[in-house]
C-alpha cells in the first residue's frame, strides 16, 4: 500500500488497450505486427530538409504559443486548397502537438462536468479516455449493425434518448474501420447536428487517405459548429514529429488556446518548419503513399474474402476491420492471441475499440506488401489448421 493517494479521478482510466496488446505480443519471435497505425514510409524529403535547415540556422527558440504565423498561414491556404474552407490564420487556427493534443485541448475547452459526448463506435480509444478525463460522459453509439456507419435514423434515436448531448466526436475516414462518409451522407448528418446545436469535434486526420470518393470536410458543411482536427502524422508519414492543428471559429479557438498553452506552452519549432514544407510541397508524396495503400487494401480484401472472412468496406485510412469467423470457439481477444502465438501475425482485438468491436479485429496495412503477403499466407495456414 502506498502512502500517497494519487488522483481518484484516474482510478477508472486505463492506458490504451491497443498498445498494451501490442506490447504483449511484441516479444514473439518472428511475428509480423499489423497492429499499430503508423505509416511505414519515410517522411517527405522536403519536410526533412526544412527541419534540418531550421536546426542549422539555429531556429531553436520558442515560437508563438499558437504556432508560427507562417505555418498558420500555410495551413489556412492548405485548407482552402483541399477543402474549400476559409480560416483566419491569426484567430482561427492553432498548431498543436499532434492531433492527440488537439483533441485533448478541444474537449477540455468545451466540456463542463457531466456533459454528454456521443461518438459512433468502434472508435479510436483515446476519445473515451479524454472525454472522461475532461469530466464528460462518454456515450458510445454502436454502429456495427449499420455497415459501421452512423445513419441519420440512428443519430436521431440517440439524440431522442440523450436530448442534452453537447458534443459529437466524429472521425472519418475511421480508425479502426477504414470507412468514410460521402458528401450526401455528411449533409444529412450535418443537418441533424445543426438542428440539435451539437459541437462537432471532427477528427479528419485520415482525410488525405481517401480512396474512390472525395473527402468533404465537416468544416465546409457546418463551419460555425465544427472544431476541425487534422495534422501531418498519417497523410505525410510524420507520426513522430507530433504535428497537428485545430481550425475553428475564433470564439472556440481563444478558449482552446488556454488549455493548449497550459499543456505545452509552444509547439516544437523544427516540427513547424517541417510542417510548412509538408503542407506546401507534400502532395506528390501523399499521392504515392495513397496509391500504395490502395493496392495493399485491395490485396488484403481479396485474400480475406477468399478465406471466407467478413470485412468492413474501407474507403480510407489504412485499416481493415475483420470479423472473427464463426467456426472459431472464442472471442476476438482469444483469436488475436492465437493468431499471434500460432500464426505469428499480430492484429488488434476489436473490443479494444469499444464493445461494438467485439468479435472483430483490426488489421493495419501500414506495412510492406511483402509483409502483408507473408502475413496472409500464415493466416491462410492458421485457418486451414484450425477450421
The residues of the shown chain that bind ligand PLP, judged by CB under 6 A, are: 37, 98-100, 124, 171, 175, 203, 205, 231, 233, 239, 244
Q: Smallest distance, Å, CB 308 to ligand PLP?
A: 28
Q: Smallest distance, Å, CB 208 to ligand PLP?
A: 13
- Give SS3 for 162: coil
37 vs 354 by CB, closer to ligand PLP: 37
Q: Smallest distance, Å, CB 41 to ligand PLP?
A: 15
Q: Is 384 exposed, middle or buried (0-12, 13-18, 19+ CB in 10 A)?
A: exposed
Q: Smallest distance, Å, CB 277 to ligand PLP?
A: 17
Q: Smallest distance, Å, CB 240 to ligand PLP?
A: 9
CB atoms within 10 A of CB 27: 7
Q: Smallest distance, Å, CB 380 to ligand PLP?
A: 28
362 vs 378 by CB, closer to ligand PLP: 362
Determine contact, residues 228/218, Cβ cutoff 8 Å. yes
CA angle, residues 343, 346, 349, in degrees to nearest 5: 115
Determine contact, residues 35/320, Cβ cutoff 8 Å. no
189 vs 317 by CB, closer to ligand PLP: 317
Sheet harboring 360-364: ordered strands across? 319-323, 360-364, 348-349
Q: Smallest distance, Å, CB 124 to ligand PLP?
A: 4
237 vs 239 by CB, closer to ligand PLP: 239
244 vs 350 by CB, closer to ligand PLP: 244
235 vs 359 by CB, closer to ligand PLP: 235
Residue with smallest beta-carbon separation from ligand PLP: 98
The percent helix, strand, coil of the chain (3-state, each to 5) is 45, 15, 35
CA angle, residues 266, 267, 272, in degrees to nearest 5: 135
CB-based contacts of 90, cutoff 8 Å, min separation 6: 69, 72
Cβ burial 242-259 (10 Å sphere, 16+ → b, else e) = bbbbbbbbeebbebbbeb
47 vs 205 by CB, closer to ligand PLP: 205
Nearest to 112 by CA among 135, 140, 129, 132: 135
Amino acid at each position: 500500500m502506498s502512502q500517497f493517494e494519487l488522483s481518484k479521478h484516474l482510478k477508472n482510466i486505463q492506458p490504451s488497450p491497443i498498445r498494451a496488446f501490442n506490447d504483449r505480443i511484441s516479444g514473439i519471435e518472428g511475428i509480423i505486427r499489423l497492429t499499430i497505425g503508423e505509416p511505414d514510409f519515410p517522411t517527405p524529403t522536403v519536410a526533412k530538409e526544412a527541419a534540418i535547415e531550421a536546426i542549422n540556422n539555429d531556429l531553436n527558440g520558442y515560437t508563438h504559443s499558437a504556432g508560427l504565423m507562417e505555418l498558420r498561414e500555410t495551413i489556412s491556404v492548405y485548407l482552402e486548397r483541399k477543402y474549400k474552407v476559409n480560416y483566419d490564420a491569426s484567430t482561427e487556427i492553432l498548431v498543436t502537438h499532434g492531433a492527440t493534443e488537439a483533441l485533448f485541448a478541444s474537449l477540455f475547452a468545451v466540456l463542463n462536468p457531466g456533459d454528454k459526448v456521443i461518438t459512433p463506435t468502434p472508435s479510436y480509444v483515446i476519445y473515451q479516455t479524454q472525454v472522461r478525463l475532461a469530466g464528460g460522459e462518454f456515450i458510445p453509439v454502436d454502429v456495427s449493425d449499420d455497415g459501421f456507419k452512423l445513419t441519420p435514423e440512428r443519430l436521431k434515436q440517440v439524440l431522442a434518448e440523450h436530448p442534452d448531448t453537447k458534443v459529437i466526436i466524429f472521425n472519418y475516414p475511421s480508425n479502426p474501420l477504414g470507412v468514410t462518409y460521402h458528401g450526401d451522407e455528411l449533409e444529412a448528418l450535418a443537418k441533424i447536428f445543426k438542428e440539435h446545436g451539437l459541437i462537432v469535434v471532427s477528427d479528419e486526420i485520415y482525410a488525405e487517405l481517401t480512396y474512390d470518393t472525395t473527402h468533404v470536410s465537416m468544416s465546409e458543411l457546418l463551419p460555425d459548429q465544427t472544431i476541425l482536427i487534422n495534422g501531418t502524422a498519417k497523410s505525410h508519414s510524420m507520426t513522430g514529429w507530433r504535428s497537428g492543428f485545430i481550425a475553428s471559429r475564433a470564439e472556440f479557438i481563444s478558449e482552446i488556446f488556454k488549455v493548449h498553452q497550459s499543456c505545452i506552452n509552444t509547439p516544437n519549432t523544427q516540427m513547424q518548419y517541417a510542417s510548412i514544407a509538408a503542407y506546401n510541397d507534400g502532395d506528390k508524396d501523399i499521392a504515392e503513399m495513397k496509391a500504395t495503400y490502395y493496392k495493399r487494401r485491395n490485396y488484403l480484401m481479396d485474400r480475406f474474402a477468399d478465406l471466407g472472412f467478413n470485412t468492413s468496406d474501407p474507403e480510407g485510412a489504412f485499416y481493415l476491420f475483420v470479423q472473427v469467423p464463426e467456426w472459431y470457439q472464442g472471442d476476438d481477444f482469444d483469436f488475436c492471441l492465437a493468431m499471434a502465438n500460432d500464426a505469428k501475425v499480430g492484429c488488434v482485438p476489436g473490443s479494444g475499440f469499444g464493445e461494438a468491436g467485439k468479435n472483430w479485429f483490426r488489421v493495419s496495412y501500414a506495412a510492406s506488401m511483402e509483409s502483408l503477403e507473408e502475413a496472409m499466407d500464415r493466416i491462410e495456414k492458421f485457418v486451414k489448421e484450425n477450421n
